[in-house]
C-alpha cells in the first residue's frame, strides 16, 4: 500500500549547472556531498529531489512511501528485479527497495521509515478582488518579492512507456494506483494515457501523482512540484526567465487535473514543472474521464 510520492533522483553530467538551476527553481539544499546534492521543499519530506553527479545524464527513478515495513519486505520478494530492503544513505534515513519497471526497466523506489522534518513557513493566503466582489480591505496593498518560487513538495512524475496496457495492468494490480482520467485513442480503440492517483479511501489525495502514455521509446516526461499560489508561480516564472532558462509551456491551466502549470527545461534537458491549485479527491470509484 503506497502512502504518497516522496522524492526523485536525477543523474546529471554537470552537477554545478544543475545545482544553479535547482536553486533558481525554488528548492533549498538539505545536504550537499561531493557526488550528490539533496534538495527539499518547505513540506515535511526530508528531501524531494536528489541530484547525482554521473557520466551520463539520466532519470534515476521516483520513490513512493509505503505504509509498513512488511510492504517493503513483500515488495523485495515479489516485484521484478527488486533489491533487498536496505538502509537509505540520505537525509531522514529510512529503508528502501528498488525494483525495475516490468515493461521498460526503469528504476522505481519504495521507501519506509524516513524521519519527517518540520513544515516550513507557508506564504500568506491572498484576498482576491473580482469585478463584482471585493474581498480585500479598502486601501490594503499587496507587495511581492522577485525571486524563485519556493517549492512545497513533489507532486507527480510521468513517463512515456512502450506498452501502455502492460504498464497499466502492472501498476494498478500491484499498487493502490487508480485512474483519475484515462485518455482514449479513437484510432486504435484503446486507452493510451493514464493519470493515476493513490487510492487512500476517504483520505484526500492529489488528482494524479503518476502518469504515463504510450510511445515508441521510454523516457521520463517531467516531474512536478507544488508552489503556493498563482502569484508565486508567476514570480517564479519571471525569475527563471530573467535567468535565461528555456520555457517549455506555460503558464496555463490543464483540463485533466485542473492545475495551473508552468514547464521549464533544466540545463540537462529534463522537463520540470511548477504547479498550483490542484483539486484533491477522496472517493474511490469515480468513473474515468473517457
Ligand atoms: Fe505535470
DSSP state of 286: P
Please give the grid coordinates belonging to residue 155: 507532486
Helix (H, G, I), strand (E, B) or coil at 64: strand
* Averaged pLDDT for residues 273-286: 69
* pLDDT tier for residue 250 given thresholds of 50, 70 and 90: confident
Q: Residue 258 C-alpha to ligand 1 middle, in angstroms? A: 11
> For all residues of the chain together, what is the average pLDDT?
94
Q: Residue 256 C-alpha to ligand 1 middle, in angstroms? A: 10
Q: Residue 227 C-alpha to ligand 1 middle, in angstroms? A: 13
CA 42 to CA 276: how far, in whole Å? 15
Q: Residue 264 C-alpha to ligand 1 middle, in angstroms? A: 11
CA 25 to CA 48: how far, in whole Å? 13
Q: Residue 271 C-alpha to ligand 1 middle, in angstroms? A: 10
Q: Residue 195 C-alpha to ligand 1 middle, in angstroms? A: 10
| Tens digits of residue pLDDT in 76-118 | 999 999 999 999 999 999 999 999 999 999 999 999 999 999 9
Whether omega before 251 lies within 30 degrees of 0, making that bond cis, reads yes
The string of DSSP codes covering 113-177 is -PPP----PPPPPPPPB-SS-B-SPTT-------S-----EEEEEEEEES-HHHHHHHHHHHSSE
Q: Residue 157 C-alpha to ligand 1 middle, in angstroms? A: 7
CA 12 to CA 55: how far, in whole Å? 8
| Among the ranges given (1-10, 134-143, 218-227, 276-285), the one the predictor scored with the smallest mean pLDDT | 276-285
Tell me what pLDDT residue 123 has.
85
Neighbours of ion ligand 1 (CB under 5 A): 224, 273
| Tens digits of residue pLDDT in 118-156 | 999 888 899 999 999 999 999 998 888 899 999 999 999
CA dihedral 172, 95, 266, 256 (to 10 degrees): 30
* pLDDT tier for residue 282 given thresholds of 50, 70 and 90: low
pTM check: above 0.75? yes
Tell me what pLDDT residue 290 has.
35
Neighbours of 249 (CB within 10 A): 11
Q: Are strands 210-214 and 219-226 parallel, antiparallel or unpaired?
A: unpaired
Amino acid at each position: 500500500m503506497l502512502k504518497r510520492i516522496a522524492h526523485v533522483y536525477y543523474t546529471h553530467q554537470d552537477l554545478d549547472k544543475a545545482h544553479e538551476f535547482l536553486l533558481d527553481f525554488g528548492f533549498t539544499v538539505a545536504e550537499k556531498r561531493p557526488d550528490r546534492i539533496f534538495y527539499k521543499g518547505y513540506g515535511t519530506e526530508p528531501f524531494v529531489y536528489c541530484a547525482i553527479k554521473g557520466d551520463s545524464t539520466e532519470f534515476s527513478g521516483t520513490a513512493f512511501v509505503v505504509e509498513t515495513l512488511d510492504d517493503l519486505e513483500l515488495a523485495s520478494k515479489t516485484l521484478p528485479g527488486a533489491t533487498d530492503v536496505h538502509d537509505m544513505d540520505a537525509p531522514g534515513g529510512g529503508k528502501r527497495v528498488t525494483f525495475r519497471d516490468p515493461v521498460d526497466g526503469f528504476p522505481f523506489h519504495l521507501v519506509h521509515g524516513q524521519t519527517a522534518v518540520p513544515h516550513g513557513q507557508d506564504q500568506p493566503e491572498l484576498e482576491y478582488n473580482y469585478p463584482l466582489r471585493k474581498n480585500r480591505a479598502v486601501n490594503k496593498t499587496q507587495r511581492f518579492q522577485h525571486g524563485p518560487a519556493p517549492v512545497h513538495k513533489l507532486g507527480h512524475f510521468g513517463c512515456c512507456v512502450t506498452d501502455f496496457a502492460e504498464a497499466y495492468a502492472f501498476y494498478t494490480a500491484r499498487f493502490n494506483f487508480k485512474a483519475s482520467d484515462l485518455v482514449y485513442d479513437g484510432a486504435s480503440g484503446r486507452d493510451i494515457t493514464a493519470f493515476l492517483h493513490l487510492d487512500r479511501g476517504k483520505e484526500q489525495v492529489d488528482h494524479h501523482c503518476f502518469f504515463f502514455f504510450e510511445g515508441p521509446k521510454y523516457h521520463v516526461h517531467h516531474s512536478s512540484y507544488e508552489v503556493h499560489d498563482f502569484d508565486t508561480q508567476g514570480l517564479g516564472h519571471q525569475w527563471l526567465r530573467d535567468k535565461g532558462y528555456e520555457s517549455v509551456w506555460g503558464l496555463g491551466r490543464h483540463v485533466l487535473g485542473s492545475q495551473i502549470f508552468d514547464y521549464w527545461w533544466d540545463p540537462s534537458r529534463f522537463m520540470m514543472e511548477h504547479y498550483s491549485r490542484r483539486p484533491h479527491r477522496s472517493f474511490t470509484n469515480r468513473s474515468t474521464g473517457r
